Amino acid sequence: MSAVAERLTGGQRVALHYFAAAVVLFAAQTFFGIIAGLQFVTPELFYGVLDFSVNRMVHINAMVVWLLYGFIGSVYWLIEDEAGTELVGLKLARLNFWVLTAAVTVVVLVYLLVQVGAGTRLSIWLINEGREYIEAPRWADIGIVVCMLVFFYNVAATFMKGRWSGISGVLVLDLVGLAGIYLAGMFFTPNVSLDQHWWWWVIHLWVEATWEVLVGCIMAWGLMKTLGTSRRIVTTWLYIEVAMMLGSGILGLGHHYFWIGTPEYWLGIGGFFSALEPIPLVAMVVHAVYDSGRHGFKSTNHPALAWFIAHAFGNFFGAGVWGFMQTLPQINLYTHGTQWTSSHGHLAFFGAYVTINVAMIYMALQKWRGDVWMSGDLPDRGFKWKWSLALTNLGMLGMTVALLIAGYQQSFLERAVGGSTWGAFFAAQLDPWFVQAMVWRNVFGMVFTLGVMLLIWDFVTIGRGERRPMRAAAQSA
Partner 1 sequence: MDSIPWWASEGAWKKIAIWVTGVMLAVLIFLTFDTVNQITAGSERVPHYSAINHRVYYRLDRARGYQVPVLGDEAPLFGRMLSADEAEALVTLGKLTVQAKNCMNCHTLLGNGAYFAPDLTKSWLDPAWVSEDVREELMLEFLKDPATNARTFGSGRRMPHLGLSDEEARAVVAFLKWMATIDTNGFPADFPAIRQVGDR
> Least distance in Å: CB of 364 to partner 1?
28
* Residue selected from 197, 255, 344, 346 as contacting partner 1 according to rule CB under 8 A: 197
Number of residues forming the site for partner 1 (CB under 8 A): 86
Q: Indicate the residue among 39 and 292 with the shorter CB distance to partner 1.
A: 39
SS3 86: coil
* Residue selected from 95, 102, 183, 243 as contacting partner 1 according to rule CB under 8 A: 243
> Least distance in Å: CB of 99 to partner 1?
26
Q: Return d(Cα 81, Cα 83) in angstroms, integer.
A: 6
Q: Indicate the residue among 195 and 466 with the shorter CB distance to partner 1.
A: 195
> Least distance in Å: CB of 185 to partner 1?
12
The reply to whether 251 sits near partner 1 by the rule CB under 8 A is yes
> Least distance in Å: CB of 221 to partner 1?
16
With CA atoms as reference, report the closest residue to 36 among 245, 346, 287, 259.
Answer: 346
Q: Indicate the residue among 45 and 99 with the shorter CB distance to partner 1.
A: 45
Binding to partner 1 (CB under 8 A) within 350-369 occurs at none
| Binding-residue pattern over the window 95 to 134 for partner 1, x denoting contact by CB under 8 A | --------------------xxxxxxx-xx--xxxxxx--
With CA atoms as reference, report the closest residue to 240 among 228, 230, 229, 232.
Answer: 232
The reply to whether 423 sits near partner 1 by the rule CB under 8 A is yes
The reply to whether 138 sits near partner 1 by the rule CB under 8 A is no
Query: For 256, which DSSP code?
Result: G
> Least distance in Å: CB of 461 to partner 1?
37
| Binding-residue pattern over the window 432 to 451 for partner 1, x denoting contact by CB under 8 A | --------------------
* Exposed / middle / buried, residue 363 (Cβ in 10 Å: 0-12, 13-18, 19+): buried
The reply to whether 421 sits near partner 1 by the rule CB under 8 A is yes
Q: Return d(Cα 349, Cα 431) in angstroms, integer.
A: 28
Q: Return d(Cα 200, Cα 259) in angstroms, integer.
A: 13
> Least distance in Å: CB of 383 to partner 1?
37
Please, what sign has the CA dihedral across residues 304, 305, 310, 316? positive
Give CA angle at 140 (138, 144), nearest 5°: 120
The residues near 96 (Cβ < 8 Å, ≥ 6 apart) are 147, 150, 151, 154
* Residue selected from 262, 388, 409, 449 as contacting partner 1 according to rule CB under 8 A: 262
Q: Return d(Cα 316, Cα 346) in angstroms, integer.
A: 13
Contact call for residues 248 and 274 (beta carbons, < 8 A): yes
The residues near 238 (Cβ < 8 Å, ≥ 6 apart) are 166, 167, 170, 216, 217, 220
Q: Indicate the residue among 10 and 337 with the shorter CB distance to partner 1.
A: 337
The residues near 345 (Cβ < 8 Å, ≥ 6 apart) are none
The reply to whether 376 sits near partner 1 by the rule CB under 8 A is no
Q: Return d(Cα 307, Cα 385) in angstroms, integer.
A: 10
With CA atoms as reference, report the closest residue to 400 among 313, 334, 274.
Answer: 313
The reply to whether 232 sits near partner 1 by the rule CB under 8 A is yes
Q: Indicate the residue among 342 and 461 with the shorter CB distance to partner 1.
A: 342
Q: Indicate the residue among 85 and 235 with the shorter CB distance to partner 1.
A: 235
Binding to partner 1 (CB under 8 A) within 294-313 occurs at none
Binding to partner 1 (CB under 8 A) within 172-191 occurs at 188-191
The reply to whether 268 sits near partner 1 by the rule CB under 8 A is no
The reply to whether 426 sits near partner 1 by the rule CB under 8 A is yes
Q: Return d(Cα 359, Cα 292) in angstroms, integer.
A: 15
The reply to whether 229 sits near partner 1 by the rule CB under 8 A is no
Binding to partner 1 (CB under 8 A) within 9-68 occurs at 39-40, 43-44, 47-48, 51-54, 56-57
The secondary structure of 410-438 as a DSSP string is: HIIIIIIITTT-HHHHHHHHHSHHHHHHH
* Residue selected from 139, 152, 324, 425 as contacting partner 1 according to rule CB under 8 A: 425
The residues near 452 (Cβ < 8 Å, ≥ 6 apart) are 26, 27, 30, 388, 392
* Residue selected from 27, 31, 81, 420 as contacting partner 1 according to rule CB under 8 A: 420
Binding to partner 1 (CB under 8 A) within 324-343 occurs at 333-334, 336-339, 341-342
Q: How far is CA 435 from each of CA 181, 268, 420, 438, rounded to the nearest angstrom? A: 39, 35, 18, 5
* Residue selected from 1, 2, 113, 263 as contacting partner 1 according to rule CB under 8 A: 263
